[in-house]
Chain A
């Protein structure tokens, strides 16, 4: 392959109290797909923000060479002009603008300030074809699923004549199907000569698409491995990331399953705005004490909607169904009611629904159960910090102190804070929505252990996940959902990826016969 398209030399970057990067080197050959791996907080996102000018020249040390020339980007625009485009971990599309408007946002087809809609729409349609998205350019972003939004982001990058595309955990929010499409697209772009840096915690994806992988640990480059035609084993990457072999990814446990603790019957939810649309249709499920139950389903199957609706009707309009705890019907019409009955819901969207990003770790953890660290309505700061400190240790949250703002934590560590918050509330029933999204392999294993412990304490745990191996490794029983209905229920012993996939993609008509 040709010479390097990008060289980053001894990049160092510090934040108050944290050295995020020290002397990191990264070399990307022209036309290759280069993966960057590392644990949560290793500095991957920070490195990419340095590269793309989010952190301007002067706020870091070291040197960046792009196509052989030194670069000193003062902002994102400057790096985009050179053809470096970053798609962030959290997507940055404007929900109420159309696909076409989003693609050309800040880069409009206009003459003297007046937008040419003709050029905008035709060009957008062309780009959408290129990324394989069959949607009208005039569709609102809010009406698209995350998978399609991701494709719009890539179309947006293509519109900027991208030479080096950076994807920060692009598949974290995608299901297997959408992920596969996205990875195929990356390979296609590579064939067209576009280089790509991809950050991912899903090592099988890296093994599939990457030509080389650079591993970061604690802000330092550990190694760069070229991946030959023989491929690379996941274990090889993991060894580099955590510095040792990781033997048990899923906890060994002997489930001690009791009577039914939590049951949902005939739960039906309508769309919050379009009330004709039924989002969850007569869903029934149950979880026993000490049991870990999974819900598998494709994006848009209604899993999150079901969970949020059960949890204090936080989503959509309820139009039927009951919740039973230990066989007795309970009201969960508001979130405080649900919490009082011992139900907890750990959101999949930590930034929007999980954390107060401008507040510190300790106050985020205590929020759902402030009463536990308060007396007569007065919050005991000392007790609160002590609790937070013990979570920081047991959950291994990487932060200087518990008074660190959660907004500055890396994605995976934010997830641990959200999880701590709900474990602190000591629920009977714990609903976990994508609990390991964006979390590294080592931390995943830690979180699985925590989940197993909770089950061992006799709690009922319901796990929603788009990663089938995770469900298969963790759960005692798995429900599948498709188009708002429960389409199947499989015991762990009988479940395989294929059998689950078949149930998940079952259309409504055939599922009627099945259930």
Chain B
């Protein structure tokens, strides 16, 4: 009872502020909260469209889509962890080197010591966790700035990689291991023109996504906040449906869902939930927003920061494994500049340099913007020199746009 009363009251308050909102103003207001993320989604769509035209439709061909996912999987994995670290108000420069180190360690274990690949993977992830915990310890408990600690880590793990591999590439890997990067969901059921499991999975995703949207809308309304007018909301659902259907059909008409995509999906859902709904996620935002206030509210900030870095270590290890599996070798050159791509993805996707802001989904969107740019530009034959220039400008533009927007909204 009391609950509905409060809600009704705040709904009234909300309505008072603007008696007759036009569709434009509602849309503008709905967007304002998430300008960066919506903006980036629109930018992503535009970039896709642009390259789709530019490459005469190659970009969205089933084969290329699959490639795109497999090529960018490891950066996206890193971007998720990096986003969390940045939300907590820190940075991690060591992830590229750590990924290389873990890839090398896995290679040595599997190729030279003939360790079964699942065991080697597990050990590799533990190594990642330990490396992350090591850095987290210096940062959280000894108070050394993360920039310094992870810069040291970058050198340390890079050197470690070279020592482990003694300058050589170590290859080849067992088939099972390779499939984490180049494998697909198995084929089951009757023979159709499409990959059956992929169709089922796509359907499941669609149902869950639509249900989530409906639930979110109901909840927002119950808080007394404005929701999109029904027409616009239906349009949004239509766009989501179309996107999921097209994407599913594209994948299903080739080999189906790549394993990397499954890993990414699980990470996105898991970490998205963690950051949005869990206490520790909330504490991470609080620390990034105002560490002193968070501490005085009883947030164990040292532990949270320590865990953020440990988690980053695990994800860096995972990325290193996926990358090694893709190359089918552990090499000393692996992971160079990965940290920069991951950091760029996080900032394009809505992180703030001072911490406290950002979402896991944002990191993925940011990573995809970079990934599509990479892939598209390679397809149309832009050299890596110009690719870098363009990516640099995109990063600057994305963050600049955001800062401009915030300033306009009143600091």
Q: What is A's interface to B at a CB cutoff of 8 Å?
A: 15-18, 311-312, 314, 334-336, 338-339, 345, 347, 352-359, 363, 367-368, 370-371, 374, 377-379, 381-382, 385-386, 389-390, 393, 400-403, 408, 421
Contacts and interface: CB of A to CB of B under 8 A. Distances in A.
A400 B16 CA distance: 9
A52 to B, nearest CB: 15
Nearest to A369: B298
Interface string B1-33: 001001101100110011000000000010010
A374 B282 CA distance: 11
A314 B279 contact: no
A402 B223 CA distance: 9
A314 B357 contact: no
Nearest to B18: A17
B13 A356 contact: no
Interface stretch (B53-61, B150-158, B194-202, B287-295): B287-295
Contact of B289 (A314, A356, A368): A356
Contacts of A403: 223, 225
Nearest to B6: A389
B300 interface: yes
Given A356-B286, A358-B289, A367-B286, A339 B298 contact: yes
Interface in B380-411: 409-410
Given A16-B409, A377-B279, A357 B289 contact: yes
13 contacts: A16-B29, A17-B17, A352-B292, A353-B296, A356-B285, A356-B289, A358-B290, A377-B280, A378-B279, A386-B6, A393-B9, A400-B14, A403-B223
Contact of A371 (B6, B225, B279, B297): B279
Contacts of B18: 17
B277 interface: yes
A314 B282 contact: no
Given A357-B290, A379-B277, A367 B297 contact: yes
Contact of A382 (B10, B219, B356): B219
A326 B37 CA distance: 52
A363 B282 contact: yes
B13 A359 contact: no
Contacts of A334: 300
A347 B296 contact: yes
B6 A390 contact: yes
B299 interface: yes
| Interface of chain B, main secondary structure | helix
A355 B293 CA distance: 6
Contacts of B283: 370
B219 A381 contact: yes
A402 B277 CA distance: 18
A421 B297 contact: yes
Q: Rank and list the top 7 A-B pairs by shortest CB-CB distance, nearest first.
A: A356-B289, A368-B297, A339-B298, A356-B290, A367-B297, A336-B298, A389-B6
Contact of B357 (A15, A358, A378): A358
Contact of B356 (A16, A356, A389, A421): A356
Interface string B120-160: 00000000000000000000000000000000000000000
Interface in B186-231: 219, 222-225
A358 B356 contact: yes
Given A18-B17, A312-B296, A378-B277, 19 more contacts: A16-B29, A16-B410, A314-B296, A339-B298, A345-B296, A347-B293, A347-B296, A356-B286, A357-B290, A358-B356, A363-B282, A368-B298, A378-B278, A378-B279, A379-B277, A379-B282, A382-B223, A386-B6, A403-B225
A357 B289 CA distance: 7
A385 B7 CA distance: 10
A401 B13 contact: yes
Nearest to A14: B410
Interface in B334-365: 352, 356-357
A379 B279 CA distance: 6
A355 B290 CA distance: 7
Contacts of B282: 363, 367, 370, 379
Contacts of A401: 10, 13-14, 223-225
A446 to B, nearest CB: 19
A367 B299 contact: yes
A434 to B, nearest CB: 15
Interface in B148-181: none
A314 B289 CA distance: 19
Contacts of B6: 386, 389-390, 393
Contacts of B410: 15-16, 408
A354 B279 contact: no
Contacts of A370: 279, 282-283
Contact of A336 (B3, B13, B300, B356): B300
Contacts of B298: 312, 335-336, 338-339, 368
Interface string B234-276: 0000000000000000000000000000000000000000000
B276 to A, nearest CB: 9
A329 B3 CA distance: 41
A335 B296 contact: yes
Nearest to A422: B297
A11 to B, nearest CB: 16
